[in-house]
Structures are given as C-alpha cells and as structure tokens.
Amino acid sequence: MVFSILKKDKKTKARLGILRTAHGNIMTPAFIPVGTRAAVRSLASDEIKSSGAQAILANTYHLWLQPGDNLIKKAGGLHKFMDWDGPIFTDSGGFQIFSLGERKWSAAPHQHAGGGFLKNSGNNSPFNVKISDDGVSFQSGKDGSVHKLTPEKSVRIQANLGSDISLVLDYFCGYPFKRESAEKSVELTTKWAERAGKEFLRIKKSAVNKGQLQFGIIQGAGYKKLREKSAKEISALDFDGYAIGGVAVGEPEKYMYQAVEFSVPFLEENKPRHLLGVGTPENIIEAVKRGCDTFDCVIPTREARHGKAYIFTGEGLKYKTMDIKKKMFAGDFKSLDPNCDCFACARHTRAYIHHLYQIKEILGLRLMTEHNLMFYNRLMEKIRASV
C-alpha cells in the first residue's frame, strides 16, 4: 500500500499516516521543503536532512528549462544529481507558467484564460502564455525560446527527473475568483489528468521509473460545487494520491480552508492528500484538522532570507517570529532560540547572526534557513504527537 493510516483524531479529520515511496517512508502529517532548482536555498543535502526534513519538492518547469530533464536523467536522476537519498516530489510545471505570467503581466485577472496572450515585462518569467485544450505554450523569459507543455510532456519530464511523487499538469485561476475561469480550470484539469494518467501507465509499462507515484490535482477555486465536481472526477481516475491546488493565490484564508473542506469528503480515505503551496504554521495546523497530510511552501526559506526566525514560545504549538535584522539584537548574546538545538542556536548568538545580516554575509542566511526548517519539522512532530 502507498499510504496507511495509523491513527485518526477523534475531534477533527486529522490523521497520522505513512506515505511509502521508492526512496523511503514519510511520516505524515509532514512538511516538504521546496528545492525549486534541485536545491533548497543555501543548504547542502546533509543540512536539509539534519533539520528533520523527510522529503523535498523540486520544480519541473525550472529543471526542464535548466539544466534540462535529459541531462538530469543522464546524471542518474534528481536523487544522484543533487545528492539527496530521500523522497522527492515534483510539481507539474503548470503553476509557474500560469501564475508568474498572470501575476506579472495580466492587466486583469484571467486575461489569458480564453487563449489570449500576455506580454513580457523584461524579467525571466514566461511570457506569451497561451492556454488551449492541448496544453500550454509560452516563451522563455531567459532567451525568448518557444516551448509547449502538454500533460504527456509533463509526465515524461518528471519520469526523466526520477522523482518519487509526480503531479499531473493542471490549470488554476487566481484570486479574485471568477466562475467562468474556475469552470474552465476544472474542465481542463480533468481532461489533462486523464491524458497524464494514460501516459504515466504507458511509461511504467516500458520499465522506466517503475517506482514513481502519480498524484491528481483538485481545482475549483472557491466554489463548493466545482470543488466537489473536480474531486469526484479526479478521484474516479484512481491516482496514487491527490493534491488540492488553486490555493495560496492571494485569497483570504477562509477560502483556502473551504477549498479543503469542499474537496476532502470526495477523496478516498486511504490515499494521501497534499495541499499545494501552503503555508504558515497556522495554515498547516488548520489544514491538518481538515484532513490534509503533506504540505510544501517556500515560507520558511524565504522568511530566512529576510531575517525572520520562527521561535516556539513554550509547550504546544504556540510560537512567535523574530526579525533578527532589528537593531535591538545587535548586543543580544542569547541564542536565537534557547529551546532549539540546531547549529545556529547551539553555536551562535543573536548578536552574531544580526551582524551577519548587516554585512550581508551568506552564512547568516544559511544559519537562519536551517533553523526555520527545523522549526517547521518540529512543528510537524508536535502535530503528529498530538494526533
């Protein structure tokens, strides 16, 4: 079995489980650090592991364009390429194409939903994004080269990457939600999921990457009936697990939680549920209560780059954040968190880490990143213990 439920919470939908992959088991609920380009920002693999991380998530879109999935295949797959022997998730690549294009250049939300074009603003994000029933075409922001990503192509790229858990290509709409765009996202996501599932089985029969699992994705924006429709349609395709998408796209938190509440009742109980792109500690706690098992988000690493540390304030799940860049820490010789035994807390003071940020020394970023990842993984340990 891919997923086993060990225990269920009596008061909520939270559950304790084991997600089995070709490169090891993941105890759930679990947080999955994001290693976008086959690297978790500033950390080596052994440092990621020492933070308590059980798996990482890499980005299909970025690795496809650079250095290329064929090169990574020649290297022996992502695990050997980046020296990580644990489980790896890969997303489909669609999020970056849709979200970056929409956020950077759309004069109005969902401008491209009907097949319209978006113009490049001069950065390295994709432009001239065009959505069709066949897939998505775009130009690379790096060199203007034209690319097309189809559901089948996404499956083949992820097979070359050799991840343990791959996601199907999906289409989502950002916030504010519009019914017409949400309906289109559900329709396309289901059609693409059917095609991705067939391609996945075809590749598996050819003995390439036999251990890889495939997750379907639920869409539907903030609409109950559409989430139900999507969950039923994707569930009927019998994937190894499911991801709830189209959240953390600028919507109020209540819509994020509703997306989970609207979807979970229509997904098989004995399969894992991943919540894409989420989130803050509060988001994770609330999503676990609603039945989600795994999460990925850039928050702990991104906040570390800005000097923000997460600190537990006592027993339980209560915590605070600390901006180490503030002048008040210049002469503070206490450890970052007296109750943490990460390298930063065990060996250095707040004053020293503050100094590193002031002189823009990368060591400060490294220390804070490892600390924040350890906080998140200890948060998940506390959640699992509470279940």
Q: Which are the catalytic amino acids? A: 91, 296
Whole-number Å distance between alpha carbons of 43 and 274 = 24
Bridge partners of residue 88, in order along the sequence: 56
Rounded-to-integer distance, Cα 296 and Cα 302, Å = 13
- Three-state DSSP at 283 gives helix
State both tokens at 197. Answer: 């599932």
1: number of Cβ within 10 Å: 8
Give the H or E element holding residue 146: strand 146-149
Taking the C-alpha atoms of residue 315 and residue 375, their distance in angstroms, rounded to an integer, is: 13
User: Both tokens of residue 255?
Assistant: 């819509």
Please state, in angstroms and rounded to a whole number, the distance separating the CA atoms of residues 266 and 187: 17
- Helix ranges (H only) for 9-51 are 45-50
Q: CA-based diameter of the chain, in Å?
A: 63
Nearest Cα neighbor of 296 from 62, 34, 19 is 34
Beta carbons within 10 angstroms of residue 249's beta carbon: 22
- Tokens representing residue 231 in the block: 């969950």
CA-to-CA dists, residue 300 to 126, 155, 157, 212, 362, angstroms: 26, 29, 28, 27, 16
Asked if 63 and 327 count as a contact pair (C-beta separation under 8 A), the reply is no
